[in-house]
């Protein structure tokens, strides 16, 4: 029934999936778990505060890799979660938020996230549609566009999270040049090092996915993040157990690829 | 009225849940049974839709660009004359497309000489930006920074072919670093990413993340 | 007071403005073009593996050659693909399926490569439809890549020129699924592991069908693929350095070899710059400590 | 011999305009960027029209009426312009996102969770001591790295077992450092390609090979 080679993956996937669902509903009965702090979210708070102090805007971009397919889509979703949080902070403290994005497919969600923060804080008069600027046609249009926008508008804080392509270096170095706080983050391991090279605060890999849940403070979301650790403990156990079983002569690798 | 509001709030989530669960069930099925064949066919059909779904969005995007730029020109905001350049370029490119779409002769000329110039040059200037990032970011502050710098130096030496003759065996060291410590650390990050992906999907289905939108 | 205002010379160097750093790089890039010093190129096993594999292909084997790079990445992949394609065409009876998945500009990339290889002139016995076909750019991202691996002719029923693949029995009969490709070469590394083409190739041809999978890779993403080499990905060309190696294996000199000098110079510069900056940094800290001690004693 | 091809001149001037940014932000870069924004949008418009034609309309004409669903659902994007009905424009995004989740999650488990385990768990008693050492290094860094990323407790970051997190961090730094080292190669290649284009095709200076 199941394709060869996919049995274990399928079983493992559905197990994780169902455990996370159960965990989310456990939160309704008051069983919540605790998380440790996320440094990069602290960075966003600090950055928005600095922007308000200096009377300069905050710039947000959700990464140039946003097509509607594959892993990139999921990372964009996570980035939009951070946009919603940023817009709420900006509304609360009164900073102007500039948003640049590279693909029109995400327009409805980006616009909604941008507006939602100002509406939730009860400041609809701060919404400026012209601050949402699309740069369509590919990464190069987006990167040159953001580079020019940063040099012209000189924001105090630059946030570039999501499925980043080459904007890591371009935006990061331009932000350095104007002396802005740079907050980067991606789950694309190939760009992550360059983000680390150029940013002051970084969402490393899964932290990007988790950030939305961290910001919400909603126990259901926090439980889904916390229960991921079960998976990590599973991997740790599998590593040690696998080594022992392998030493004992059990063909563990063949078992894992059924 | 409240039912309408409920539908309006949740219809997208219902569609999301239906499609996701359907495709997740269909994905691992073999095509040996009739049911498996039916599901796999639908899976392939659905999987081919995503580009088409996003295709119309470009019209909205171009509309927003035109609107923003025209507003800037009308209001004469700062640097508004550059927005005229943008609008003229847009008109030229849209006009060129009427001769055979994006593979037509005029569009081919434009993409070869205009867009290709911008895109290659943009990647090229990253070489310069990278050099200055190297110059500023690597400082021997603590053990972590030292490790970061030394592994970077070794890989830099491997990527420049001449170093193989200056320091024989450097490529073996570099490849060993890439294959072993680098891969191991990447795998450690992979585990979190794989789990984070599933958790994100669960949150989207619960509607708690609104795909992240608040 | 005046003492404090005066900045230490080490601090000045550490906070140097960018233009001089950039200017030296520019000179180092241009210089070798006029005075090439032909740096020797060592052959790595990664590239040799692909060369040996193509040498061992039998007549009738079908190769999938992918052109998935946007025009901005032209300089990175073109030289490698030209060398590989020339080698493939020189093997008797080897059949090539050419395809692009990345974006609409991949077709420009294909045309640039074909202009350099020039099949009609240089390989007159290779006929379109019998020895090679071009499927054009197939839009749709990762799902389409995965679908193409499962059932190629359902995803791409026609070639670029609108002819149904049924009319090319050499391809239609031999290839039923992705597993039937004797060799799969992906061009472009955009997006790395998560990229919709590169990741799709890895998931389908690598993990699912266990094909002989090779990448003509963007050097900046190569580290990300190392976990899969050599168990799943059998060979990787490291951008232009890899292309230069391949040209050396074929005993030709192309653009890859031209660029190697500049590549060496710039990397030498980067290494020297980093080491220089750190020597200054350490000396700066030493000076700072000395100054602090001085002010402490003064008080 | 300097090129007489107007296209080459456009190409060269745009390349120089973009490169000038690294030294100073200037009007030439602004003009090049303004052209790129307009041109990129126009190009993307025609690419999308081609998608609609090739993937949508031509398939409907060939009798695949099922394609009407994504074709018409995609049209809902246009409601974004009219704020009161803009919630309708979330429907195509939801569909595409469902497809994205459906296609990535299970292969994601294979590539991100199972494959790292199978690649780490390897025999460490082979006759080759380098291989054995590599397997042990891999195992330690993978174990410590996964432990470092645990969200719910800081047992592995502070205190008695803090060294595990520290080793994980150092492993991450090695990975970041080695990837940063590969960055320059790709970028320099493109830069040198541009310079060759400018010198040989535009200015017509013969280059030594």
Residue C226 in domain: yes
Could you tell me if residue C38 is inside a domain?
Answer: no
- CB–CB contact A140 D36 (8 Å): yes
Q: What percent of chain A has pLDDT over 70?
A: 98
A44 and A149 in a single domain? The answer is yes
Residue D58 lies in a domain: no
Task: For residues A233 and A189, state if they share a domain.
Answer: no
Which residue's structure tokens are 């940023």? A86
Residues C67 and C27 both lie in one domain: no
How does residue C1 score in pLDDT terms, banded at 50, 70 and 90? very low
Contact C227 D116 (CB under 8 A): yes
B125 to D104: CB separation less than 8 angstroms, yes or no: no
| Residue C40, domain member (yes or no) | no
* More confident site: C133 or D55: C133
Cite the DSSP H helix spans in A58-106: 70-93
Question: Residue B91 domain-assigned?
Answer: no
Examine residue B60 and state whether it is found in any structural domain, yes or no: no
Q: What is the pLDDT of residues D89-134, one digit of tens each?
A: 888 888 988 988 888 888 888 888 988 898 888 888 888 888 899 9
Q: Which residues of B touch A18 (CB under 8 A)?
A: none
Residues C122 and C270 in one domain: no
A2, part of any domain: no
Mean pLDDT of A145-168: 90
Average of pLDDT values for A176-202?
88
CB contact under 8 A, A205 and D121: no
Range of the domain at B42: 1-55
Asked if residue C184 has a cis previous peptide bond (ω within 30° of 0), the answer is no
Q: Do B206 and A24 touch (CB under 8 A)?
A: yes
Chain B contact probe: residue of A8, A129, A135, A173 with most B CBs at under 10 A: A173
Q: Among C72, C141, C192, whose Cβ lies nearest the Cβ of A190?
A: C192
Answer whether B28 sits within 8 Å of A9, measured CB to CB: yes
* Residue D130 belongs to some domain of the structure: yes
| C162 Cβ neighbours under 8 A, 6+ residues apart | none
Q: Domain for residue C136, yes or no?
A: yes
Considering CB atoms only, which of B61, B115, B123 is closest to A136? B61
Tell me what percent of the residues of chain B surpass a pLDDT of 70: 96
CATH code of A70's domain? 3.40.50
Same domain for C103 and C169, yes or no, is yes
Residue C105 shares a structural domain with residue C158:
yes
Q: Which domain holds residue A73?
A: 39-216
Mutate to test the interface with A, among B59, B135, B152, B211 (most CBs of A within 10 A): B211
- Identify whether C39 is part of a domain: no
Q: Is the pLDDT of residue A148 over 90?
A: yes
Which partners does chain B have (≥3 C-beta pairs < 8 Å)?
A, C, D
What is the model's pLDDT at position C191? 67
Reduce the DSSP state of residue A183 to 3 states and report it.
strand
In the structure, what pLDDT confidence band is assigned to residue B210 with cuts at 50, 70 and 90?
A: low
Minimum Cα–Cα distance from C73: chain D residue: D190
Helix (H) or strand (E) holding C8: none
Q: What is the pLDDT of residue C272?
A: 93
Q: Closest chain A residue to C140 measured between Cα atoms? A: A69
Domain identity same for C52 and C6:
no
> Which residues lie below 8 Å from residue C236, measured CB to CB, with a gap of 6+?
C46, C214, C215, C216, C217, C222, C225, C229, C242
33-92 in chain A: CB under 8 A from chain D: 33-36, 68-71, 73-74, 77
- Whether the per-residue pLDDT at C205 is higher than 80: the answer is yes
Is B34 inside a domain boundary? Answer: yes
Q: Which of A151-155, A241-245, C216-220 has the lowest mean pLDDT?
A: C216-220
Residue B75 scores a pLDDT above 70 = yes
Q: Has the ipTM of the complex gone over 0.95?
A: no
Q: Helix or strand or coil: residue A204?
A: strand
Residue B124 lies in a domain: no
Label each residue of chain B as H, E or C: CHHHHHHHHHHHHHHHHHHHHHHHHHCCECCCCHHHHHHHHHHHHHHCCHHHHHHCHHHHHHHHHHHHHHHHHHHCCCCHHHHHHHHHHHHHHHHHHCCCHHHCHHHHHHHHHHHHHHHHHHHHHHHHHHHHHHHHHCCCCCHHHHHHHHHHHHHHHHHCCCHHHHCCCHHHHHHHHHHHHHHHHHHHHHHHHHHHHHHHHHHHHHCCCHHHCC
* φ, ψ for residue C13, nearest 5 deg: -65, -40
Q: Please say if the pLDDT value at position B211 is more than 50.
A: no
Is D94 domain-assigned?
Answer: no
Report d(CA B79, CA B67) in Å as an integer.
16
Residue A178 lies in a domain: yes
Say if residue D87's pLDDT is above 90. Answer: no
Same domain, A184 and A248: no
What residues are paired with A202 via a beta bridge? Answer: A184
Name the β-bridge partners of B184.
none
Chains that touch C (3 or more CB pairs under 8 A): A, B, D
Number of domains in chain B: 2
Residues C252 and C269 placed together within one structural domain of the fold: no
Q: Note the pLDDT of residue A69.
A: 65
Interface contact C141, partner A, CB < 8 A: yes
Q: Is the pLDDT of residue B46 over 90?
A: no
Comparing A68 with B86, the larger pLDDT belongs to B86
Are residues C66 and C182 located together in one domain of the fold? yes
Answer yes or no: do C274 and B122 touch at CB < 8 A: no
- Predicted pLDDT of residue C103: 77
Same domain, C252 and C286: no
Question: pLDDT tier at C2 (50, 70, 90 boundaries)?
Answer: very low
**Disruptive mutation site among D47, D87, D107, D152 for chain A (greatest number of A CBs within 10 Å):** D152
Any idea what the CATH number is for the domain that residue C247 is in? 3.40.50
In a domain, B71, yes or no: no
pLDDT band at C194 (very low <50, low <70, confident <90, very high): low
pLDDT tier at B214, thresholds 50, 70, 90: very low
pLDDT at B40 over 80: yes
**Confidence band for C98, pLDDT divided at 50, 70 and 90:** very high
**Torsion sign over Cα A38, A43, A46, A51:** negative
What is the average per-residue pLDDT within A148-177?
Answer: 90
Distance CA D55, CA A116 (A): 35
Question: Is residue A1 one of the residues assigned to a domain?
Answer: no
Asked whether residue D33 carries a pLDDT value surpassing 80, the answer given is: yes
From the list C142, C227, C240, the residue facing D119 with the nearest CB is C227
Query: Which residue among D99, D103, D147 sits closest to A236, beta carbon to beta carbon?
Result: D147
Phi-psi region of A217 (alpha: psi -120 to 50; beta: other; left: phi over 0): left
Select from A65, A70, A190 the Cβ nearest to the Cβ of C221. A190
CA distance D68 to chain C (A): 16
Give contacts of B204 with chain A, Cβ < 8 Å.
Answer: 77
Compute φ and ψ for B116, nearest 5 degrees. -65, -35
B130/A contact by beta carbon, under 8 A: yes
Total domains in chain D come to 1
Q: Which domain holds residue D192?
A: 122-209
Judged by average pLDDT, the poorest of B74-83, C107-116, C187-196 is: C187-196
pLDDT at C53: 92
Structural domain boundaries enclosing C288: 2-14+21-32+265-298
What pLDDT shows up at residue C271? 93
Based on the fold, state whether residues A91 and A195 are members of the same structural domain.
yes
**Among C199, C221, C224, beta carbon nearest to A70:** C199
Write down the pTM of the prediction.
0.88
Q: How many domains does chain C have?
A: 2
Flag whether B86 is in a domain.
Answer: no
Chain C residues within 8 A of B162 when measuring between CB atoms: 39, 264-265, 267-268
Domain boundary pick from B28, B55, B82 = B55
Interface of A with C in 22-61 (CB under 8 A): none
Has residue C59 got a pLDDT over 50? Answer: yes
- CB within 8 Å: B88 and D112: no
Quote the minimal CA–CA distance from D23 to chain C in Å: 6
Higher-confidence residue: D160 or A97? A97
Of A147-151, A153-157, C8-12, C246-250, where does mean pLDDT reach its minimum? Answer: C8-12
Task: Write down the pLDDT at residue B212.
Answer: 39
C223 and C92 in a common domain: yes
**Does residue C59 form part of some domain?**
yes
Contact A136/D44, CB-based, under 8 Å?
yes
Residue A159 shares a structural domain with residue A248: no
Residue D190 forms part of a structural domain: yes
Q: Measure in Å the smallest separation between the Cα of A187 and chain B Cα atoms.
A: 7
In this prediction, residues D175-202 reach a mean pLDDT of 86
Considering only CB atoms, A70 lies closest to which of C72, C194, C223, namely C194
Considering the domain architecture, whether residues C133 and C254 belong to the same structural domain is answered as yes
Overall number of domains in chain A: 2
Q: Contact, C219 vs C76, CB < 8 A?
A: yes
Q: Are B114 and D43 in contact (CB under 8 A)?
A: no
Q: Do both A248 and A211 map to the same domain?
A: no
Walk across the sheet containing C233-238 and list its strands.
Answer: C132-137, C95-100, C62-66, C183-187, C213-217, C233-238
Could you tell me if A227 and A108 lie in one domain?
Answer: no
Render pLDDT for B90-148 as a digit per residue (tens, 0 to 9): 999 999 999 888 888 888 889 889 988 998 898 889 899 989 888 888 888 888 899 99
Instruction: Looking at the structure, tell me whether residues A226 and A212 fall in a common domain.
Output: no
Shared domain for A51 and A83, answered yes or no, is yes
């Amino acid at each position: 029934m199941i394709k060869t080679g996919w049995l274990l993956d399928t079983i493992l996937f559905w197990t994780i999936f169902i455990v996370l669902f159960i965990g989310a509903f456990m939160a309704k009965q008051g069983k919540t778990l605790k998380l440790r702090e996320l440094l990069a979210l602290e960075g966003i708070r600090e950055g928005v505060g600095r922007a308000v102090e200096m009377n300069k805007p905050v710039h947000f971009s959700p990464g140039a890799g946003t097509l509607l397919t594959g892993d990139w889509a999921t990372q964009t979703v996570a980035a939009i979660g951070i946009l919603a949080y940023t817009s709420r902070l900006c509304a609360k403290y009164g900073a102007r938020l500039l948003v640049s994005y590279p693909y029109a497919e995400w327009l409805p969600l980006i616009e909604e996230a941008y507006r939602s923060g100002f509406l939730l804080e009860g400041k609809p008069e701060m919404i400026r549609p012209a601050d949402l600027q699309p740069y369509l046609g590919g990464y190069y249009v987006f990167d040159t566009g953001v580079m020019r926008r940063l040099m012209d508008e000189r924001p105090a804080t630059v946030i570039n999270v999501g499925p980043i392509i080459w904007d890591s270096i371009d935006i990061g170095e331009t932000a350095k040049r104007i002396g802005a706080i740079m907050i980067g983050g991606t789950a694309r391991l190939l760009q992550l090092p360059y983000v680390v090279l150029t940013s002051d605060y970084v969402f490393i890999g899964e932290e990007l996915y988790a950030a939305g849940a961290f910001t919400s403070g909603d126990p259901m979301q926090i439980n889904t993040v916390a229960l991921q650790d079960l998976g990590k403990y599973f991997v740790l156990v599998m590593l040690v157990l696998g080594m022992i079983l392998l030493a004992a002569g059990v063909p563990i690798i063949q078992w894992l690829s059924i | 009225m409240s039912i309408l509001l409920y539908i309006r709030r949740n219809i997208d989530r219902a569609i999301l849940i239906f499609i996701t669960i359907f495709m997740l069930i269909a994905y691992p099925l073999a095509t040996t049974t009739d049911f498996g064949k039916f599901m796999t066919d639908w899976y392939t059909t659905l999987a081919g839709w995503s580009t088409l779904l996003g295709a119309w969005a470009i019209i909205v995007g171009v509309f927003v660009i035109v609107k923003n730029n025209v507003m800037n020109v009308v209001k004469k905001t700062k640097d508004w004359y550059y927005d005229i350049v943008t609008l003229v370029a847009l008109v030229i490119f849209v006009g060129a497309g009427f001769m055979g779409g994006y593979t037509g002769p005029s569009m081919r000329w434009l993409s070869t000489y205009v867009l290709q110039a911008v895109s290659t040059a943009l990647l090229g200037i990253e070489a310069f930006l990278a050099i200055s990032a190297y110059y500023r970011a690597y400082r021997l502050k603590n053990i972590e920074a030292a490790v970061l710098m030394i592994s970077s130096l070794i890989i830099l030496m491997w990527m420049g072919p001449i170093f193989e003759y200056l320091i024989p065996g450097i490529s073996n060291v570099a490849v060993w670093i890439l294959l072993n410590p680098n891969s191991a650390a990447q795998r450690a990050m992979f585990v979190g990413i794989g789990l984070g992906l599933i958790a994100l999907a669960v949150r989207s289905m619960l509607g708690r993340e609104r795909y992240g939108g608040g | 007071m005046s003492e404090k205002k005066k900045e230490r010379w080490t601090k000045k160097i550490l906070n140097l403005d960018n233009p001089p750093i950039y200017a030296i790089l520019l000179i180092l890039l241009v210089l070798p073009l006029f005075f090439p010093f032909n740096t020797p190129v060592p052959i790595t096993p990664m590239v040799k593996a692909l060369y040996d594999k193509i040498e061992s292909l039998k007549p009738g084997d079908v190769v999938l050659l992918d052109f998935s790079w946007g025009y901005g990445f032209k300089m990175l992949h073109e030289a490698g693909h030209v060398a590989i394609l020339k080698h493939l065409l020189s093997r008797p009876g080897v059949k090539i399926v050419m395809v692009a998945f990345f974006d609409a500009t991949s077709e420009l990339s294909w045309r640039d490569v074909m202009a350099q290889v020039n099949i009609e002139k240089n390989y007159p016995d290779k006929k379109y439809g019998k020895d090679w076909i071009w499927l054009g750019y197939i839009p749709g991202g990762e799902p389409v890549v995965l679908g193409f691996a499962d059932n190629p002719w359902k995803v791409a029923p026609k070639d670029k020129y609108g002819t149904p693949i049924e009319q090319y029995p050499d391809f239609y009969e031999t290839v039923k699924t992705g597993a039937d490709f004797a060799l799969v070469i992906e061009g472009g590394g955009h997006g790395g592991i998560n990229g919709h083409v590169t990741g799709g190739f890895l998931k389908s041809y690598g993990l699912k069908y266990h094909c002989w999978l090779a990448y003509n890779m963007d050097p900046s993403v190569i580290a990300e693929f190392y976990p899969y080499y050599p168990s799943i990905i059998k060979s990787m060309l490291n951008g232009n350095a890899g292309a230069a190696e391949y040209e050396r294996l074929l005993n030709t000199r192309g653009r890859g070899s031209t660029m190697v000098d500049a590549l060496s110079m710039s990397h030498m510069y980067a290494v020297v710059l980093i080491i220089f900056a750190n020597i200054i940094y350490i000396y700066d800290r030493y000076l700072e400590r000395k100054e602090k001690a001085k002010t402490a004693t003064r008080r | 011999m300097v090129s007489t091809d107007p296209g080459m001149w456009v190409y060269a001037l745009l390349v120089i305009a973009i490169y000038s940014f690294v030294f100073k932000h200037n009007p030439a870069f602004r003009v090049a960027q303004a052209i790129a924004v307009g041109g990129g949008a126009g190009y993307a418009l025609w690419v999308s029209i081609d998608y609609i034609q090739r993937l949508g309309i031509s398939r409907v004409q060939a009798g695949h009426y099922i394609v009407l669903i994504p074709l018409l659902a995609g049209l809902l994007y246009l409601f974004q312009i009219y704020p009161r009905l803009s919630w309708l424009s979330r429907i195509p995004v939801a569909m595409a996102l469902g497809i994205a989740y459906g296609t990535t999650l299970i292969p994601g488990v294979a590539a991100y969770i199972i494959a790292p385990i199978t690649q780490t768990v390897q025999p460490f008693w082979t006759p080759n001591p380098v291989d054995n050492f590599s397997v042990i290094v891999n195992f330690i860094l993978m174990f410590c790295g996964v432990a470092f990323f645990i969200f719910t407790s800081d047992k592995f970051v502070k205190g008695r077992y803090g060294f595990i997190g520290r080793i994980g961090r150092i492993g991450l730094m090695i990975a970041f450092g080695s990837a940063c080292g590969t960055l320059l190669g790709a970028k320099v290649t493109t830069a040198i390609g541009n310079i060759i284009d400018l010198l040989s095709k535009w200015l017509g200076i013969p280059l030594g090979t």
